[in-house]
């Protein structure tokens, strides 16, 4: 973002853009170029951003509207506007048809997109408000005023207001908070029921007023330390269609309505002409309520898309050309979209209070540990000069250490060391013979090798150098350990042999006992001699065996 440097324009429900002659249904011709002086041209061409012919509502929204809606969630104002003659399909494009869910228009799809995207952006908290404005015969009407508990304002009480930092808004227009797509659609349907419509020869359900459905979005970070938030407005505009009274046959009240519609659209075109002409300093926005309400959308801080709805029939060629001329002029209008960022005064005061409390806690801690008074404000020029002097004396050897009592001093000291190192490098390159005394710590930092050795190489160097004594002791202990382990293995084998001999003797004695109970004295004699042999064996080996046992070689 911004999406567009100038206004983007699409043609919806378009069949013909460049004419070689007028196409009449069923092959009939009732008008030729030479039949009228106004129709001397037989070919017209217009520069457009795209042509949408026989496309679904879903494709229309994806190609034209989605980027504007997503931009509104990022803080950019957006406007989607339908323009064209009466009966060309503007209301169908904006709100769709109730006959099928697939035929829903731009507004329902935009509301769905907004709430789906809000659910994905979990790092931010969003608030959404809706308003629905109708401009009927130059009178501002709140289509959602019936939902408020407050007494309804007179239409004369609503006025278009412009304030610095807020832009253009309607004073007295109700804003309704919504938390789900369902709530938003209920408000949309309520407003649609309150719109003024009429019937004439070209359209049985003709909108007799201009309608602006606005989605107000506010986004705040869930991080408590962020005081910045963004706001945006998404204007979805359904303009009333221009009418030729000779074709619509409007009379009475509808004739009056058609006069107001054509007048406001004429003022809209004048504003577009003035915006497209860079030599003009004044743009007549205040000529009508419509142009004044759309001031930001037409030439201000907004991403604007115009959808021009036209008939693809030769009988409507004059209105089609008028619509295309308006759209071409709209293409020349440049807007300046930018993110609407704001600072929350309440959040700023809270953060300032937190900072003050933290400084008091640090001061209290410094008092308890008998530290000198530490300043947490930015260093003054005198303090920076003193740090520079201390660093110079430290480098020359006249100062043993630099007293550090705050993080800001640490940063300033490192900055001075960096300058000193760069000066030393520059002097050595230029060949200047200057003697500088650098402390041992700084020399060691400056003499570091360009490449750091690996861990294995560093360990081998350590064993040969400073760790040679430790390495020798480890090797001697390892040799003793291996020797004791070998002796332990030998003793274990001998003990196992003696145990097997005892087991064999015990089995033999058991056999003699089972044969007749004889040989009892021999058993005791053998047991005595066996026990004596084992004791004699341990008497011989007692020193080495128990020495190994108590020294934990097992």
Known binding residue 84? Answer is yes
Q: What is the mean pLDDT of residues 62-73?
A: 92
Q: Are 325 and 319 in contact (CB under 8 A)?
A: no
Known binding residue 90? Answer is yes
Please report how many Cα atoms fall inside a 13 Å half-sphere around the Cα of residue 461, on the Cβ side: 6
Length of the chain: 554
Neighbours of 132 (CB within 10 A): 24
Alpha-helical (H) ranges within 195-252 are 245-248
Known binding residue 536? Answer is no
- The pLDDT confidence band at residue 107, using thresholds 50, 70 and 90, is very high
Radius of gyration of the chain measured on its C-alpha atoms: 46
Please give the C-alpha separations between residue 78 and each of 75, 276, 549, in angstroms, as whole numbers: 9, 19, 87
- pLDDT in the model for residue 261: 86
Encoding tokens for residue 44? 């017209």
Which of 72-76, 311-315, 353-357, 372-376 has the highest mean predicted lDDT (pLDDT)? Answer: 72-76
Which of 243-257, 359-373, 465-479 has the highest mean predicted lDDT (pLDDT)? Answer: 465-479
Known binding residue 475? Answer is no
Known binding residue 86? Answer is yes
Identify the structural domains of the chain with CATH numbers, from first to last.
7-343 (3.40.850.10), 345-446 (no CATH), 463-553 (no CATH)
pLDDT at 265 exceeding the cut of 60: yes
Q: Are 124 and 220 in contact (CB under 8 A)?
A: yes
Known binding residue 88? Answer is yes
DSSP for 454-470, please give it: PHHHHHHHHHHTTTHHH
Hey, is 164 helix, strand or coil? coil
3-state helix vs strand vs coil in the chain, percent to 5: 50, 15, 30
Question: DSSP secondary-structure letter at 209?
Answer: S
Known binding residue 40? Answer is no
The pLDDT tens digits for 395-440 are 888 888 887 777 778 888 888 888 888 877 665 544 443 334 444 4
- Give the CA angle between residues 286, 289, 294 to the nearest 5°: 85
Nearest to 330 by CA among 285, 289, 280, 271: 271
Please give the C-alpha separations between residue 384 and each of 185, 339, 391, in angstroms, as whole numbers: 63, 39, 11
Known binding residue 89? Answer is yes
More confident position, 6 or 330: 330
Q: 0.85 exceeded by the pTM?
A: no
Q: What is the mean pLDDT of residues 80-86?
A: 88
């Amino acid at each position: 973002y911004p999406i567009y440097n100038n206004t983007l324009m699409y043609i919806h429900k378009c069949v013909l853009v460049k004419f070689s002659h007028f196409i009449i249904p069923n092959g009939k011709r009732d008008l030729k170029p030479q039949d009228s002086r106004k129709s001397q041209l037989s070919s017209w061409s217009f520069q457009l951003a795209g042509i949408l012919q026989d496309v679904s509502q879903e494709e229309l929204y994806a190609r034209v509207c989605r980027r504007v809606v997503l931009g509104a969630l990022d803080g950019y104002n957006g406007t989607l506007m339908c323009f064209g003659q009466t009966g060309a399909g503007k209301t169908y494009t904006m709100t769709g048809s109730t006959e099928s869910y697939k035929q829903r228009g731009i507004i329902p799809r935009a509301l769905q997109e907004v709430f789906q995207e809000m659910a994905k952006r979990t790092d931010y908290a969003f608030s959404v408000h809706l308003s629905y404005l109708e401009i009927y015969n130059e009178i501002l009407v709140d289509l959602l005023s019936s939902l408020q508990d407050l007494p309804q304002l007179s239409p004369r009480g609503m006025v278009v207001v412009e304030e610095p930092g807020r832009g253009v808004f309607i004073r007295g227009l109700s804003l309704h908070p919504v938390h789900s797509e369902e709530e938003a659609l209920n408000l949309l349907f309520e407003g649609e029921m309150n719109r003024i419509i009429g019937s004439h020869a070209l359209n049985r359900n003709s909108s007799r007023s201009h309608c602006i459905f606005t989605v107000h979005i506010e986004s705040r970070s869930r991080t408590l330390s962020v005081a910045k938030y963004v706001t945006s407005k998404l204007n979805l505009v359904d303009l009333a269609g221009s009418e030729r009274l000779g074709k619509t046959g409007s009379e009475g009240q509808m004739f009056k309505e058609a006069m107001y519609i054509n007048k406001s659209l004429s003022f809209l075109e004048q504003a577009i002409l003035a915006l497209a002409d860079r030599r003009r300093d004044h743009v007549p926005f205040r000529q009508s309520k419509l142009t004044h309400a759309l001031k930001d959308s037409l030439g201000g801080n907004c991403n604007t898309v115009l959808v021009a709805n036209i008939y693809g029939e030769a009988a409507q060629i004059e209105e089609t050309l008028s619509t295309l001329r308006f759209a071409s002029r709209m293409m020349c209008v440049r807007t300046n979209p930018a993110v609407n960022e704001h600072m929350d005064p309440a959040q700023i005061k809270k953060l300032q209070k937190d900072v003050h409390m933290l400084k008091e806690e640090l001061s209290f801690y410094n008092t308890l540990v008998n530290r000198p008074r530490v300043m947490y404000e930015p260093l003054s020029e005198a303090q920076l000069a003193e740090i520079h002097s201390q660093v110079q004396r430290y480098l020359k050897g006249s100062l043993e250490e630099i007293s550090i009592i705050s993080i800001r001093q640490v940063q300033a000291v490192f900055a001075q060391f960096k300058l000193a190192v760069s000066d030393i490098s520059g002097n050595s390159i230029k060949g200047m013979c200057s003697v500088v005394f650098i402390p041992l710590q700084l020399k060691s930092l400056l003499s570091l090798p360009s490449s750091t050795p690996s861990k294995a190489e560093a360990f081998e160097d350590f064993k040969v150098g400073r760790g040679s004594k430790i390495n020798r002791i480890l090797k001697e202990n390892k040799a003793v350990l291996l020797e004791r382990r070998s002796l332990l293995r030998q003793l274990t084998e001998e003990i196992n042999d003696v145990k097997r001999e005892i087991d064999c003797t015990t089995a033999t004695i058991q056999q003699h006992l089972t044969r007749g109970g004889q040989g009892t004295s021999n058993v005791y004699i053998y047991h005595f001699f066996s026990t004596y042999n084992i004791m004699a064996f341990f008497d011989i080996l007692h020193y080495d065996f128990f020495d190994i046992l108590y020294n934990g070689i097992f």
